[in-house]
Structure 1
Amino acid sequence: MKDIILKAENISKQYRLGTVGTGTLKHDINRWWHRIRGKEDPYLKIGDTNDRSTKGESDYVWALQDISFEVERGEVLGIIGKNGAGKSTLLKILSKVTAPTTGTIKSRGRIASLLEVGTGFNGELTGRENVYLNGAILGMTKKEITAKLDEIIDFSGCQRYIDTPVKRYSSGMTVRLAFAVAAFLEPEILVIDEVLAVGDAEFQKKAIGKMQDISKGEGRTVLFVSHNMDSIMRLCSKSILLKNGRIIDYDITSKVIDNYLKCEYQTTSYKSWVDQYIGNDLVRIYDVKAHNLQYEIKNNFKITEFVGISVSYEVIKEGNKIHVAFNFYDRNGINIFDSHENNTSNYYDLKSCGKYETTVWIPENLLAEGVILVGVAIVTHNPFQVHFHERDCIAFNMIDDQIISPTRGEYVGNLPGIIRPLMKWDSKNKI
């Protein structure tokens, strides 16, 4: 039986643009008049969707629309999406910082929120005093807070400044102490926005480890918003993808991240500059593409087929040693490998004027499933000079659609890793 600790049912949030509060006096009176007559709020039927990139026709905008999900005890739920998708608004509603326009939130236990740097802190109070203040807000006694105080201070790394007013802290120190307070004062539900990006690498590692301990070891629930897909993948069993204030995907994290990145990068396996001049007086770039062995441009490749990456260019000024380099990244922007045109027979030749097409072949059973991003560069040596470079030039998907794969066998789940080479194995009966 599921142990549901947090449930959101049909949550929507409407704002009126250009005003402070929920609307004008005229609109408030109109709403009141409809309500006392038992009629629906007239402004719930109007308003634009939450798309920050377009100019709307209405003064009303739906920051969130019809959000429904539930979280089990001990689960870490990731919430991802582009800036302006509604992530922070959702967390504020869940934290009861603001109320939803429609819908209900049902939760069991205390909720601690870390929505921005210094959330719940008073700048005039010392770090120690703010620990007690936040603990009191969470409903803890002074004795309970004192029992956790040494752990909080030690985790935050702010021992030397704990009796200094928080207004003197840097943003990194503030978020360190705020996270330590939220994590160690034992709320049943911990809500964390992108604030961990403020901390340094050492603190981020500690914070992620602590969140894993909170969920797995202590059975508490975490809601985590981040643009760092690696952190989301490591921490969250399930994730929600928001777009324009609506849930467009709610599933296991790996599938949601792939869906997000496909939308984000639009998985374009061909890019052309035929109608514009890209390059310099030495070399001009025409196009970059991902294709199969028959040179058919594709967005999706099976992990059991060869993938070719080609760049077409023209040498305008002869007498230079020109070569191509490709950079391959996974969906988190981590470099998988680079490949340089340095093992061809004509690598050391000085290229004459004319058009060229250079291709690198990725062997079958090398890349794992997911979005692969390709960067391309054209360089010369003696002296070394980069004439063209674009990091996220094209993208394509690797797919494992076989019932029994040579690299996964009969296992149907998601395998970790960014490469999946087909290795040679031996097994002998020694009896």
Structure 2
Amino acid sequence: MSIIQVDHVTKEYQLGQIHSIKTAALNQWRRVTGQEVEKRLPFKALDNVNFSIEKGEVVGIIGHNGAGKSTMLKLLANISKPSSGSITVKGKVAPLIEVGAGLVGELTGRENVYLNGAILGISKREIDRKFDDIVAFAELEEFIDTPIKRYSSGMSVRLGFAIATSVDSDILIVDEVLAVGDLAFQRKCFDRMEDVIRRQGRTVLLVSHNIRQVERMCTRVMMLNHGSIIHDGDPHKTCDQFYQLSNQTIRDQKAKDSSKRIISSGEIDNVEVNVLDPQGEVTDSFAEGSALWIRIRFTLKQPLSNPEFHVGTHTTDFVYLTGESTAVLGESHEFPAGNHEIEQFIPVYPLVPGTYGIRFAVIDQRGRVVFHGESLVFFNVKAKTMNAPLQDELRLVAVPVEWTLQGAHFSMSDRLRFPAR
């Protein structure tokens, strides 16, 4: 028997209800003269959604902003009602949605613990029993009798999270609240969620933009897109499909947006960055564990003596991954005015499947930045096989390895050399 059943659920919102004075007057005139008033189509946050969740399942819900994730959780928590369809929830629900939003600023932390506990269905006797643990988890022993309005935002969300996770519920609904507070407190949040999931065996619905966190914590993942479920099943396969969809969106956006993050003194022109395949042809993708071959062409307007070239890669949100410099070569080179070409070759690019950008910088012998550009070109690392390893989501880098099984030796590393020119 399912603990949650969602049947043909649609949630609509009316958008754009505020009109200009001219439009409002025109609509009123149409009503008076019996004409039809222009109607705006409703926005479907959820569109005919169907699914069921069994007791003890840990289900992740992922998707781009506006896909309908938070709307779904609010319906399941009975915060709002569907426009059509039905939702059946069996058991006590503890929603962790907009943590800290229910705290009253004029009341002290102690008073808010009891007030919010009552709202969440915790009896006074149970709050008495859990009070010290709630305060200790929130790390607010010194401030518990201080009005909430004097708390920092981090203190407020810590208290809200501590209260909400103290509820003994059948179903826990979590919406983007695991990244509250500083890094140390975030670790405590993760540990508490691990306890709820691994040891208490509660049914959990988790919405998060941290896809690797979803992969690690969930037994099943649903992906929403424009209010509809487009994939529901194995966490790794669903998250991999999300990565592919996101990567395609990034490539489409970059194709439309020619702007790049560039700082230039004006001495370099016509910078062209390409990724090459083993045959030396331009490509935008290669298999995980393959070589990364980068070619950069540029024009110098004036000579450069002994410049330092820096080439690196980064994620789409500008986390630097690699960054190598010609300064380590210990050699001097003269670059006259005119066209030039340099290359960087990484025999095994160690990143897991995803989309990555390339940055390039030129520094003169005095340490002055002549050119620095990020996101000059994007490339895609593809999965090596269709059948991903069972724990593929637990890694960030892909390294060449060798195995010995029952005396037999197996090597997965590719013996790559710089392609002959």
For structure 1, the 5+ residue unaligned runs are 21-56
Secondary structure at the aligned position of 1:222 is classed as strand
- Partner Cα separation in structure 1 for residue 253 and residue 342 of structure 2: 15
Alignment of 1:386-425 (within 5 A): 386=369, 387-391=371-375, 393-401=377-385, 414=392, 416-425=394-403
Of residues 53, 75, 82, the one that matches 1:100 is 82
Q: What TM-score do you get using the length of structure 1 for normalisation?
A: 0.77
Q: Deviations over 1:362-396 (max 9, x none)?
A: 324x5354104123121214333441221584130
Contact 1:229–1:257 at 8 Å: present in 2 too? Answer: yes
Q: 1:216 aligns with which of 179, 198, 203?
A: 198
Counterpart residue number, 1:291: 276
* Cα drift, residue 428 of structure 1: 8.6
Of 290, 313, 322, which residue of structure 1 is paired with 2:307? 322
Decide whether aligned partners of structure 1 residues 383 and 197 sit closer, same or farther in structure 2, where only a CA change above 3 A counts: farther
3-state secondary structure, aligned to 1:293 = coil
Q: Is the 8 A contact 2:49 2:229 kept in 1?
A: yes
Structure 1: distance between partners of 2:259 and 2:165: 54
Q: What are the equivalent positions in structure 2 for 1:194-343 lying under 5 Å apart?
A: 194-266=176-248, 268=251, 279-303=264-288, 305-329=290-314, 335-342=320-327
Which residue does the alignment assign to 1:352? 336
User: What does the per-residue CA deviation read over 1:391-422, in whole Å, with 9 as the maximum and x for residues that have no partner?
Assistant: 5841302321278xxxx9xx666363233322
Distance 1:415 1:173 in 2: 32
Shift of 1:59: 4.0
Q: Distance in 2 between matches of 1:269 and 1:423?
A: 35
Kept in 1: contact 2:289–2:399 (CA 8 A)? no
Larger deviation, residues 111-120 vs 92-101: 111-120
Q: Distance in 1 between matches of 2:317 and 2:193?
A: 20
1:146: which partner in 2?
Answer: 128
Deviation of residue 212 (structure 1)? Answer: 1.0
Q: In structure 2, do the counterparts of structure 1 residues 402 and 185 end up closer, same or farther at CA, with 3 Å as the change threshold?
A: closer
2:356 equivalent in structure 1: 373
Cα RMSD (Å): 3.4
Q: What's the CA shift for 1:102?
A: 1.5
Q: How many residues were matched structurally?
A: 384
Contact 2:273 2:294 in 1 (8 A): yes
What is the match of residue 46 of structure 2?
64
Displacement of 1:327 after TM fit? 3.0
Q: Residue 143 of structure 2 corresponds to which residue in structure 1?
A: 161
The one-letter amino acid of 2:241's match is N
Moved more, 6-15 or 296-305: 296-305
| Mapped contact 2:352–2:381 kept (Cα < 8 A) | yes
Distance 1:223 1:136 in 2: 23
Cα 1:179–1:276 change in 2 (3 A) is closer
Alignment partner, residue 30 of structure 2: none
Alpha-carbon distance between aligned partners in 2 of 1:281 and 1:91, rounded to the nearest angstrom: 52
Q: How far, CA to CA, are the matches of 2:58 and 2:52 in structure 1? A: 12
CA contact (8 A) 1:269 1:396 kept: no
Distance 1:272 1:116, change over 3 A: closer
1:153-212 per-position Cα deviation (integer Å, ceiling 9, x unaligned): 111111112122223222211111111111112222222222444421111111111111
Q: Which amino acid is the alignment partner of residue 139 of structure 2?
A: G
* Equivalent residue letter for 2:9: I
Distance across 1 between alignment mates of 2:375 and 2:149: 40
Identity %: 33
Deviation at 1:343, TM superposition (A): 5.7
The CA deviation at 1:299 is: 4.0
Summarize the Cα distance change of 1:75–1:381 in structure 2 as closer, same or farther, 3 Å threshold: farther
Structure 1 residue 124 corresponds to structure 2 residue 106: yes
Match of 1:42 in 2: none
d(CA) in 2 for partners of 1:316 and 1:197? Answer: 49
Contact 2:171 / 2:203 at 8 angstroms: preserved in 1?
Answer: yes
| 250 and 290 in structure 1: CA distance in 2 versus 1, 3 angstrom threshold | farther
Distance 1:68 1:339, change over 3 A: farther
CA distance in 2, matches of 1:166, 1:412: 46
CA distance in structure 2 between the partners assigned to 1:250 and 1:192 by the alignment? 18
Residue pair 2:216, 2:394 contacting (<8 A) in 1 also? no
SS of the aligned residue for 2:304 comes to: coil
Indicate conservation of the 8 Å contact 2:178/2:190, yes or no: no
TM-score normalised over the length of structure 2: 0.79
> CA offsets, 1:297-346, max 9 Å, x none?
3344223543322222222221243344333346886544333344669x
